[in-house]
């Protein structure tokens, strides 16, 4: 039986933990918050995933050494701001034989590293190594928790590692593909959250489907330009972790980033929007790094830059459309 430790007891980590456990994996959930673990272990439910029941076979621990011991796969599902600190805690207990899977989506502002690169960085600092795979795609936890059909990508330059993750995570309702463009896969997972903020702002201002479609399409063009400039594969951005993830995040009411954007469009402040959403809004965290990457690689990203200006108080949301529409005319 494959043994998997899930770091993080948020909706995505728990939805995946349940999926794996129901399909015959030995699953242990680690969290730095003991009260979360107590609630999960006693109620077998997650407060933000109504209707989902967790198998009684799942294990829970606040001891990261215990979580790592004897596992085949370590799954990082903590919010992006906590990936580095979690990797630092776990690194002394990670062995070379273990596979590491990251499902957190974001880019670290200070270093411009993706989440899997952060994990590798912390392992290297402690003279450890492991094979790291990014698992990303259009995957709302609320639907995975209900066994609704879902497709996702396991990405790594190490094809055997990606295939091992594909085999371990695939179920009758959860189909896993592989690719070798880990950076492009992770870039798509981070930048799409920023575009979803833009779509939400537009909806909050009362704009319609035409504007939504335009922002999704041109947002993907911005993502593709950046990815290609960073050496990623163009086809990644038309796949599940590119356009696929962008569509679901920009159109579903499960999307925290879309919700936060709508609140901003309604005139809420950033802090008010974050409080009302009540969970981590990854697009807000990824925004500074996305802007820095655009500048570093000299890529024009007007939608991303407009969102940055709105959140930074330099541009009123109501004036953003005029700013975008008034740009010089050009070929698509």
- Calpha distance 185→177 (Å, rounded): 12
Q: Nearest-CA neighbor of 187 among 258, 90, 289? A: 289
Mean pLDDT rounded to a whole number for the chain: 96
Run of H or E residues at 73? strand 73-76
Q: How do residues 125-135 score in pLDDT, each as one tens digit?
A: 999 988 999 99
Does residue 210 contact residue 193 with C-beta atoms inside 8 Å? no
Least confident segment among 74-78, 99-103, 324-328 = 324-328
The model's confidence at residue 161, banded by pLDDT at 50, 70 and 90, is very high
Query: If you search the block for the tokens 């999926």, which residue do you land on?
Result: 19
- Calpha distance 28→14 (Å, rounded): 10
What per-residue confidence (pLDDT) applies to 253? 85
Four-CA torsion 19, 178, 189, 35, nearest 10 degrees: 30
pTM of the model: 0.94
Q: Which residues are catalytic?
A: 192
- Return left, alpha or beta for 15; rule: phi > 0 is left, psi -120 to 50 is alpha, else beta: alpha
Extents of the domains making up the chain: 3-180, 187-325
- Calpha distance 33→56 (Å, rounded): 20
- Which parts are annotated binding residues for NAD(+)? 8-13, 82, 141, 256
Which of 3.40.1390.10, 1.10.1040.10, 1.10.357.10, 1.10.10.10 would CATH assign to domain 187-325? 1.10.1040.10
- Calpha distance 152→144 (Å, rounded): 11
The model's confidence at residue 331, banded by pLDDT at 50, 70 and 90, is confident
What per-residue confidence (pLDDT) applies to 303? 97
Is 90 exceeded by the pLDDT of residue 256? yes
Least confident segment among 194-198, 220-224, 253-257, 320-324 = 320-324
Which of 1.25.40.10, 3.40.50.2300, 2.40.30.10, 3.40.50.720 would CATH assign to domain 3-180? 3.40.50.720
Percent of the chain with pLDDT over 90: 93
SS3 state of residue 135: strand
Run of H or E residues at 151? strand 150-155
What per-residue confidence (pLDDT) applies to 327? 84
SS3 state of residue 34: helix
- Which parts are annotated binding residues for substrate? 105, 256-257
Least confident segment among 3-12, 93-102, 190-199, 318-327 = 318-327
């Amino acid at each position: 039986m494959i043994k998997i430790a899930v770091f993080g007891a948020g909706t995505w980590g728990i939805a995946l933990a349940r999926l794996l456990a129901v399909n015959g994996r030995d699953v242990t959930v680690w969290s730095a918050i003991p009260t979360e673990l107590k609630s999960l272990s006693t109620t077998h439910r997650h407060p933000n995933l109504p209707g989902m029941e967790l198998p009684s076979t799942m294990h829970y621990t606040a001891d990261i050494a215990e979580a790592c011991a004897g596992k085949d796969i370590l799954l990082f599902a903590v919010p992006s701001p906590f990936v580095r600190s979690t990797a630092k805690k776990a690194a002394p207990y990670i062995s070379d034989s273990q596979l590491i899977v990251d499902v957190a989506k974001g880019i670290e502002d200070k270093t411009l590293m993706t989440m899997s690169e952060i994990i590798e960085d912390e392992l290297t600092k402690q003279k450890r190594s492991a094979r790291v795979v990014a698992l990303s795609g259009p995957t709302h936890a609320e639907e995975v928790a209900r066994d609704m059909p879902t497709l996702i990508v396991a990405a790594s330059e190490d094809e055997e590692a990606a295939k091992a993750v594909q085999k371990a995570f695939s179920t009758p309702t959860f189909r896993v593909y592989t690719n070798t463009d880990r950076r492009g896969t992770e870039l798509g997972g981070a930048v799409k959250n920023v575009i979803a903020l833009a779509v939400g702002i537009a909806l909050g201002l009362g704009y319609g489907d035409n504007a939504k479609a335009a922002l999704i399409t041109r947002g993907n063009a911005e993502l593709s330009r950046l990815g290609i400039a960073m050496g990623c594969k163009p086809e990644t951005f038309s796949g599940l972790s590119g356009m696929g993830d962008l569509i679901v995040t920009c159109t579903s009411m499960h999307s925290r980033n879309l919700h936060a954007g709508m609140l901003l469009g309604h005139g809420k402040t950033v802090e008010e929007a974050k409080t009302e959403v009540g969970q981590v809004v990854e697009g807000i965290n990824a925004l500074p790094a996305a802007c820095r990457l655009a500048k570093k690689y000299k890529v024009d990203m007007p939608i991303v830059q407009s969102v940055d200006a709105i959140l930074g108080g330099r541009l009123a949301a109501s004036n953003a459309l005029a700013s975008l529409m008034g740009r010089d005319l050009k070929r698509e």
